[in-house]
Structure formats: structure tokens, C-alpha cells
Amino acid sequence: MIRLDALSVDFDERFQLHDIKWTLRPGEHWLITGANGSGKSALAAVLAGDGDRLSGTLEGVPERVALVSYERQADLIAAERRKDDADILDVMSEGTPVAEILGDGCEDLDLARNLVDTLGARPLMNRAFRKLSTGETRKVMLIRALTSRADLLVLDEPFDGLDHDSLIWLQGHLCELAETTPMVIVLNRFDECPDFVTHVAYVDDGRLPLCVERGDEQAYAELYQLLHLKTSDLEIPAADPAAQLPALDPDKPLVQLTGATVRYADNTVFEGLDWTIEPNQSWQLSGPNGSGKTCLLQLITGDHPQCYVNDINIFGYQRGTGESIWEIKQFIGYVSTALQWEYTVSTGLRNVIISGFYDSIGLYTKSTDAEKTIADEWLALLGISDRAEEPFNRLSFGDQRLVLIARAMVKHPPLLILDEPCLGLDDMNRQLVLALVERICLGSETSVLYVNHREQDRVAGIDNHLTLSDNTGA
Amino acid sequence: MANYFNTLPLRAQLAELGKCRFMHLNEFSDGVEALRGKKMVVIGCGAQGLNQGLNLRDSGLDVSYALRDEAIAQQRQSWKNATENGFTVGTYEELLPTADVVLNLTPDKQHTNVVETIMPMMKHGACLSYSHGFNIVEEGMQVRDDITVIMVAPKCPGSEVRAEYVRGFGVPTLIAVHEDNDPNGVGLALAKAYAVGTGGHKAGVLMSSFIAEVKSDLMGEQTILCGMLQTGSLLCFDKMVDEGIDAAYASKLIQYGWETITEALKYGGVTNMMDRLANPAKIRAFELSEELKDIMRDLYNKHQDDIMTGAFSSGMMADWANDDAKLLGWRADTAETPFEKTPASDMEIAEQEYFDNGILMVAMVKAGVELAFETMTAAGIIAESAYYESLHETPLIANTIARKKLYEMNATISDTAEYGCYLYNHACVPLLADFMTGITSDMIGKGLDIADTGVDNAHLIEVNEAIRSHPVETIGSVLRGHMADMKRIV
């Protein structure tokens, strides 16, 4: 039996859990839920030994606890980056290969092999861990945890970023594992709560006000409602009249890719892809992990070096004819998990939103009063006006996402690219984001390019679909 | 070829050494225009070559890579780097005759060979760019009269040059024009456009000279950057072991201590680094550093003198000609030192503990930074240059020690820095022998064992004043101010 009694825990002085009373009995499997920034991940991480105990007691936690979470994922990627020899001097380095990351701490080689094949991770084995896509990194973290023969499995958003097939399989596998291993799962989405979960813990503002038995239908329904609180009166702040973007020819496509191909020495990600995005036309892009969704987007944003060897006409520029990426980026708003990981600045939220006017990570120019006003309007829309000066890197993962969406939209770009914008968000904020995206789609000035692979995150108003097929051979 | 610096009259030497000016952002209002439509060909596709090329291309410039025939035929790493990133790759013969600007981003040691090979192929009136002036200044390379010779040197590793550009920023960059090779008077315009193309203008550009860059760069790297950290590592480790401190702990305290201590230096100069110590420890570190500076001053002067006369570079070039016999021998010796052979403990050391238990290390960094700065400025090098080549770059080397310890640090820095580092170390270790006998574990390893952290007000004020009024702090706060917007966690 694991027992937390009057436990208060501090996380690097940026977040605290207060007075947690919680008992996990043998045979129980828990779901932890709550709004973004409420402390779900923190509570889960406490079971894995994270945080500094301020008072109270924590008893009965088994010695071997496996934790999968965005924070751990980010730590590992950060550790890989620190190892990068390229930082030292004139040496290129590839980083630790996936096979080595998986081998570290693995207690069940047969299972590991099985998981690698089932999750289609075989082609990743020799690649550098830090070069994987978000979904691929997640798979590697999961395989590591599942093969560690832990006595307690703590999974923080285990289904996020997985494609449909991997998700179904994992849910099945966890069901089997639940027979022998106690589990604590953090989920923002109630509708994905696995059947074996027996109890739900609801976290709010660093406290644990509610513990609900799955069998208690009424309490369960109320909790569901609580998380579904809808926000109303959504108004998108206007663009800055002083910072008009150059006019685009309304009769020309925004983006035209002809025969687009991305190829590495040993791997063709996709080839011969034709795609035209007309003004005021929104698209949904889907495809399994590793099918090249992000590569395709990067060809458009100019972040993929092979955009120079492809036939890309974008915002009136033929790529590779002397235009700078800043001339391209000025027309694009962009949000992705990768951007969030890159956005490691301690600057305040207002400045993060203002940085959208400059397409920069961090703010390197003095901002105008008009820009500040617009940023404050966005903060109000997100319900975090009182946190304008708070450092971005102290926000919860979900709140960071909302701020980055505001940053992307702040200049009302002709093209808004949302690469899995709901990844890691809770129900309430997910509804908010989706409503926001719908609103943007209905307006006439911004074309939305929306990437996801989850049925329930469809957005009304997006009627064009492009699906990339699997190329990993998995 | 003769040492170029030594061919100049004293007044010209002093004028060149004194060149270094922080340029105003509005001096870059022409952007990359001077290079637009020009064919830029990079030689050397390592981290600097590749990442600078990526930035220049993203700024709208025409960049391709010239590789040696064998690198292309064998599809070596340099070939892969360039082709996977979608660059045009060709042989010297294919690309150089039509190049408007040739970017020589190969290691120093190859410069003579590379430049002699490419010069006959370059078209009349083209531009040759360096990122380090050793070849011109110390080796006296004579470049064809019609060719413009410039230098553009980002003061960060290649990966950071790229990462900062992608963020919408850049890294501090030094530019220079070789006055003897500026036949059309376009050198400065080209260098400025190049700095804009890599994003450097946003983080601050120093207008310097080939001579000031070489003479300050050599001095910084062999004394405070690599030499002092190497000597400090060896002495501190042996002392701790003598004092009965667990060797694995000592190894860790040193390996990661330099990085932690100099991180404080990077953010707030010597003042902030010293402020991380409790008052009694700060006073102790101050006293130690004063003592160290008195002992080492002559050594720093000797290094600067040898750099100025060319004795250093001719000694090193003799070793190049002798298949690096000395360098490789010294490198092998480094691998055999007790510090190098003792793996770091896996116990956790809190960030503050590196300061508290590393008082001597803090003192060594302070003494080294200040001495290098003082020696450089006394030799006619301007404060801006001296700051970048001492304080600014120390955290970069500390960072390599944290990852790789000394042997690999030496193997990854330039051969020039490594050679100078060993020279310094061989002189400095015996020089500090007496001083080290007076050191006990409260200054390195355990921290001060005092219950009362009280200090005398007057004495503390005096010490703080001495720390804060040092000229490296004055120029440092100005230059760091230019980069204040770089606030971020790394």
C-alpha cells in the first residue's frame, strides 16, 4: 500500500503540491486528471521520487518505479543535447543511438524486441535518439518503461503522440500488464481512460480535492463535467495595424509544392508529392508517426535544408532564388511540440507572445506599445492576464502550448501551421484550442494547416485532407 | 614566408593591435546586399563550415561547397553534411574559378596548403575569407594582389552559430579586413554583409584587425582558457587526494566545477562569480587570487611576449614540420595524469557546493581572467578584444572539460590552442609548487569550516570594490549589456 499523508512537495521552487492525502491499495489502478498546470504531472512524478519533500510522509513506494512523462522525455533530450560534441568545437556528432537508449535498464530483452517490432520502432534502432520525431521519442520512452520490470508503472500521457495502431495496441498491452503491475496513469482526456482503471484522482491547484471510485457513476460523471467546462465569449485580438505584412497576390496559391521529395542517404521520407494550398483554404494533414508530416511542414516553413533542392513556390517566392527565410516566415504562424522544446527561454509570457511579431525564439528588439497591448489581449483571452511577467519556462506544458498558439496568431498570418496543437493538453484547454482553431478557420484571412492523427480532434471548417502514408516499413 | 607582424614598423603594429570597435546595429542597414547574387564557395565542411553555410543560404545567399576529389569520391562525412543539406558540392576545379567569395573554414594547420592550392584557381578580384588570422599574420601568407582578404569569426562553436540564427538572433562576431589586400576597397562591405548573413550583427560585431585577432586569440587560449584550467585541474586534484579527500569526489568536483563556476562568470562576470561565495569564502578567494596573480604575472607576460615576437608560432610551426612530435607526446602525457585516470564519482554535487568547496578554483579563474586581460591590454590590445578572448570564452572550454576531461578537451580544441596550453602548463605547474604547499582542504575540497560567516565591513567593502572596479568588469558589463536579450536557460 502506498500512502501519502499531509504531503507537501516542492519542484524547483516553481511548483508545489500541498497537503496531499492519498492512499493507493494493492489491486488499484489510478487515473490522475485535472486542468493544465494543476499538478497532475507533479503528483505522478512524486511517486517516481521527484521533488523535494517539505512536510508530511510518503510511504510504501516500491523501489522500482518506471515513469514516462514529457518532463522525463525533455530531460533525456536535453541530456543528449548536452552530450552533443558539435557544441565543443569543429566536430559533428550523431548522439546516442536508440538501441543504446533502450538497452539501458532493460530487464526483458524478449519483450523489448517484441515491443520494438509491434510499435514499428525497428527502423529507429540505429538512429540518434535526439533526431527522432516527437512521436518516435515517445515510443522509445514507453518501450524503456515497459521493459524495465518495474513494480509500479507511472505513465504521464502515455497515448499522446502515438498513431492510431500503436495506441490501440498499447491500450491492450497495458490491460494485460494491469494483471500484475499496479499503474498510475495521467490523462488529460477522460475518454481515453483504460478499462482497468479503478480510481480517479482529481488534482486542482497543487491539491488533491477529489478521489473518485470508477464504480461511482454519478461522481464520475460530475468529474467529467468539471473537466469539460466550456469557455465562452472567445474574441481573437486584432492584428497590429502598424505592422502590415506585404500584400500577397490573391490569385496565386499561398504554397505550391511540385514533386516534393525528402531523402537521406539511407531513407526516402517521401517523394513526388504535389500539393497546392490556395488562399483561405484550410487543410488537415495526417499520417502515422515517421511518415514525414513534420518534414513536409518544414519544407514550407524553410526549416528543412532540403527546401532548397525542391520546387517550392511560396508567398510569391520561388525558394532558392535569393529570398531569406525571414521573408518566408513573416507570413507563417507556427506551433509544434518541437518548437515548444526549442523555446527554452526564461523571458515573460507577454514577450513570448510579442516574439510572434518577429518570428524569433526570445525577444531581441524593443517592442512597441501596440504590440504590448495586443499581447495583453491574448493573455486575457487565455485567462492568464495576471501572469504576463511570469517566465515562460515555469509554465506547465499545456499553458506553454496555449501561449505559443497565441504567439503564432498574433500577427494574423496568411498561413497558420498547427502541428498537433492538442498534444499534451487537458480537456478544457483542448476544447479552447479547438474552438480557437475553428474560429480562425471561419475567418477569411488565415489559412490553417492542421496536423493531427486523432479522430476526435477534427475541426469544423477544415475540409481539405492530405494523408501521408507510412514509409518506415513497419 | 615571414612573420607578417614583424615586417611592420612599430607604429603600424600598435595601430593594428589597437583596432577593435563595437559596431552599431545601424552600420548594417545594407543587410546582405554586398553579397547578393555573389557565388560563395565554402572550403571545409565541419561544424563551422556547415552551419555558417546554412545561415548564409537562409539569408538569401548563394552557397556551395568545394571538397577535395577524394572526399567526394569516398562520400566522406563532409560530403554527406553538404549534400544531405541540399547544397551544391563540387571539386575545387569545378567551383573555385567562378567563385566571388571563397570561405576558408579549414583548420589553421591546413591553411598554407589550402590557400596555395586554391589561389591559382580563384578569379581576378575575388574575395578570400578567413575565420582566424594565423595564416596571414604568423605565417605571412602572401595573397595575390587582386584578391580581397577579410576575416569573419563568429565567437562561438558552429552548432551555436546555427542555433542562435534559427532563433532569430546570432552570436557575437569579429570582422576584419587585411589592409594589404583590399585592392577595391570593398573588404569592409563584404565582411559586414557576411556577418549579417550569419546573424552575427544582431548579437554584436567587433571591427578588429587580423593582427589584433591573432595576438589576442593566441594569448587567451594558451593562458586562461586552456592552460589555466589544465594546470588548475591537475594541481587541485593532487592536492585534494593528498588531503585525504575521496579521489572520485575530487575528480567530479574539478571536472564539473569549472563549468559551474564559469557559468556564473558568463552571466555576471568575475563579480557575479565571486558573489556566489559566502563572504568569508569570497575574501579568501580574493586573497588567493591576488597571490596567484603575483606569482603568475611574469609567466603571462612571457606568453604575451612570445606571441608578439613570433617566437611562439615559429616554435609551434617547427613542431608541425616535425610531425607534431612534441604535441603528441604532451597529449599522451596528459592522458596519464591522476586526474585524467580517476573517473568522476556518480554522487550528486549541488550547484552551490561547487563554489563552496572550490574556493581555490574560483580564485584561479579570477586570477587567470584578470591576468590575461591585463597582459593583453598592456600589450596594446584593446579592452573589447581582450574581454572576448579571456572572460567570454572561458565557459566554452570549461564546458568541454565537463564533457570530456582534459585529454579530449585538448584533442578537440585547435592544435594551436593545444600546443600553447601545454607550454603554459609545463611552466605553471612548477611555478605554483610552493604556493600549493600552503593550500589545505578548506580551500579546495571541503570548504571553509566556520560557524560564524561574519566579516569585517570595511574589509568586505574593500574586496568588493577591488573585484568590481577591475577593467575586465567595466568593459564586460558594457559588452554583456549588448547581449542582455539573450536571457534564457541553456
pLDDT bracket for residue A33 (50, 70, 90) = confident
pLDDT bracket for residue B114 (50, 70, 90) = very high
The pLDDT of A103-111, averaged and rounded, is 82
For position A125, what pLDDT does the model report? 84
For position B487, what pLDDT does the model report? 36
**Residue A210 · residue A40 · CB < 8 Å:** no
B57 vs A36 pLDDT, higher one: B57
Is A270 contained in some domain?
no
**Residue A129 · residue A101 · CB < 8 Å:** yes
Sheet holding A464-467, edge to edge: A332-335, A415-419, A447-451, A283-286, A464-467
Same domain? A7 vs A152: yes
**Residue B347 · residue B249 · CB < 8 Å:** yes
pLDDT bracket for residue A463 (50, 70, 90) = confident
* Residues A342-351 pLDDT 10s: 887 778 999 9
Same domain? A220 vs A333: no
**A322, B60: Cβ pair inside 8 Å?**
yes
Sheet holding A15-24, edge to edge: A15-24, A2-11, A52-59
For position A241, what pLDDT does the model report? 78
**A91, B400: Cβ pair inside 8 Å?**
no
* Run of H or E including B425: helix B415-431
Lowest mean pLDDT among A267-276, A387-396, B31-40, B242-251: A387-396
CB nearest to A360's CB, from B80, B167, B404? B167
Share of chain B above pLDDT 70, in %: 98
B268 vs A291 pLDDT, higher one: B268
Chain A residues touching B36 at Cβ < 8 A:
322
Same domain? A215 vs A345: no
- Distance from the Cα of A473 to chain B's closest Cα (Å) equals 22
Chain A residues touching B486 at Cβ < 8 A:
362, 364
pLDDT of residue A290 exceeding 90, the answer is no
Give the domain range for residue A157: 2-227
For position A471, what pLDDT does the model report? 60
* Residues A258-274 pLDDT 10s: 999 998 877 889 999 99
- What is the Cα–Cα distance from B268 to B274, expressed in whole angstroms? 10
**B47, A92: Cβ pair inside 8 Å?**
yes
- What is the Cα–Cα distance from A82 to B159, expressed in whole angstroms? 12
pLDDT of residue B484 exceeding 80, the answer is no
pLDDT of residue B486 exceeding 50, the answer is no
**Residue A424 · residue A433 · CB < 8 Å:** no
- Distance from the Cα of A264 to chain B's closest Cα (Å) equals 6
Same domain? A74 vs A216: yes
- What is the Cα–Cα distance from A297 to A450, expressed in whole angstroms? 10
- What is the Cα–Cα distance from A186 to B92, expressed in whole angstroms? 58
Residue of chain B with shortest Cα separation from A90: B47
Query: B51, B55, B58, B61: which to substitute to probe chain A, counting the most A Cβ within 10 Å?
Result: B58
Tell me if chain A has a CB within 8 Å of the CB of B46.
yes
For position A365, what pLDDT does the model report? 79
For position B488, what pLDDT does the model report? 35
Query: B36, B65, B103, B159: which to substitute to probe chain A, counting the most A Cβ within 10 Å?
Result: B159
**B166, A358: Cβ pair inside 8 Å?**
no
- Classify strands A415-419 and A311-314 as parallel, antiparallel or unpaired: unpaired
- Distance from the Cα of B402 to chain A's closest Cα (Å) equals 10
- What is the Cα–Cα distance from A100 to A121, expressed in whole angstroms? 13
Tell me if chain A has a CB within 8 Å of the CB of B124.
no
Where are the domain boundaries for CATH 3.40.50.720 in chain B?
20-208
**Residue A162 · residue A8 · CB < 8 Å:** no
pLDDT of residue B264 exceeding 80, the answer is yes
Average pLDDT, chain B: 93
Lowest mean pLDDT among A276-280, B187-191, B435-439: A276-280
pLDDT of residue B482 exceeding 70, the answer is no
- What is the Cα–Cα distance from A191 to B379, expressed in whole angstroms? 72
Query: A52, A90, A392: which to substitute to probe chain B, counting the most B Cβ within 10 Å?
Result: A90
Encode B188-223: b = buried (16+ Cβ within 10 Å), e = exposed. Answer: bbbbbbbbbbbbbbbbbbbbbbbbbbbbbbbbbbbb
| CATH number of the CATH domain containing A376 | 3.40.50.300
Is A417 contained in some domain?
yes
Q: Which of A188, A205, A227 is the last residue of a domain?
A: A227
- What is the Cα–Cα distance from B285 to A12, expressed in whole angstroms? 29
For position B217, what pLDDT does the model report? 92
pLDDT bracket for residue A473 (50, 70, 90) = very low
The residue count of chain B comes to: 490
**Residue B82 · residue B95 · CB < 8 Å:** no
Cβ neighbour number for residue A195 with a 10 Å cutoff: 11
* Residues B397-423 pLDDT 10s: 998 899 889 988 887 788 899 999 999
* Residues A142-165 pLDDT 10s: 888 888 888 999 999 888 877 788
pLDDT of residue A209 exceeding 90, the answer is no
For position A81, what pLDDT does the model report? 75
Tell me if chain A has a CB within 8 Å of the CB of B257.
no
B20-208 has which fold?
Rossmann fold (3.40.50)
Tell me if chain B has a CB within 8 Å of the CB of A191.
no
The pLDDT of B29-46, averaged and rounded, is 95
For position B440, what pLDDT does the model report? 95
A33 vs B326 pLDDT, higher one: B326
* Residues B444-475 pLDDT 10s: 999 998 877 889 999 999 999 999 999 999 99
Cβ neighbour number for residue A110 with a 10 Å cutoff: 8
Catalytic residues of B: 132
B212-486 has which fold?
N-(1-d-carboxylethyl)-l-norvaline Dehydrogenase; domain 2 (1.10.1040)
For position A226, what pLDDT does the model report? 57
pLDDT of residue A458 exceeding 50, the answer is yes
The residue count of chain A comes to: 474
- Among left, alpha and beta (phi > 0; psi -120 to 50; other), residue B427 is alpha
The pLDDT of B356-364, averaged and rounded, is 97
Residues 6+ apart with CB under 8 A from B215: B5, B17, B137, B307, B308, B379, B381
- What is the Cα–Cα distance from B223 to B228, expressed in whole angstroms? 6
pLDDT of residue B169 exceeding 80, the answer is yes
Lowest mean pLDDT among A202-206, A221-225, A433-437, B282-286: A221-225
Is A434 contained in some domain?
yes
Q: Cell match 491574448: residue?
A: A378
Number of domains forming the structure of chain A = 2
User: In Å, what is the CA distance from B448 to each residue of A259, B91, B252, B285, B460?
Assistant: 69, 62, 19, 11, 17
* Residues A379-417 pLDDT 10s: 887 767 888 999 898 887 777 888 898 899 899 899 999
Model ipTM value: 0.78
- What is the Cα–Cα distance from B188 to B151, expressed in whole angstroms? 10
Residues 6+ apart with CB under 8 A from A288: A120, A163, A164, A165, A453, A470
In B, residues 75-114, which contact A (CB 8 Å cutoff)? 77, 80-81, 84-87, 107
pLDDT of residue A354 exceeding 80, the answer is yes
- What is the Cα–Cα distance from A172 to A165, expressed in whole angstroms? 11
Is A261 contained in some domain?
no
Decide: helix, strand or coil at residue A90.
coil
Q: Which of A227, A257, A275 is the last residue of a domain?
A: A227
For position B288, what pLDDT does the model report? 97
For position A414, what pLDDT does the model report? 92
Nearest to A440 by CA among A470, A465, A460: A460
Share of chain B above pLDDT 90, in %: 82
In A, residues 79-118, which contact B (CB 8 Å cutoff)? 82-92
Where are the domain boundaries for CATH 1.10.1040.10 in chain B?
212-486
- Distance from the Cα of A428 to chain B's closest Cα (Å) equals 30
Same domain? A350 vs A463: yes
Same domain? A218 vs A351: no
* Residues B141-168 pLDDT 10s: 999 999 999 999 998 888 889 998 999 9
Is A19 contained in some domain?
yes
B24 vs B40 pLDDT, higher one: B40
The pLDDT of B105-125, averaged and rounded, is 94
* Residues B174-191 pLDDT 10s: 999 999 999 999 999 999
Nearest to A160 by CA among A134, A180, A181: A134
For position A222, what pLDDT does the model report? 60
Same domain? A344 vs A460: yes
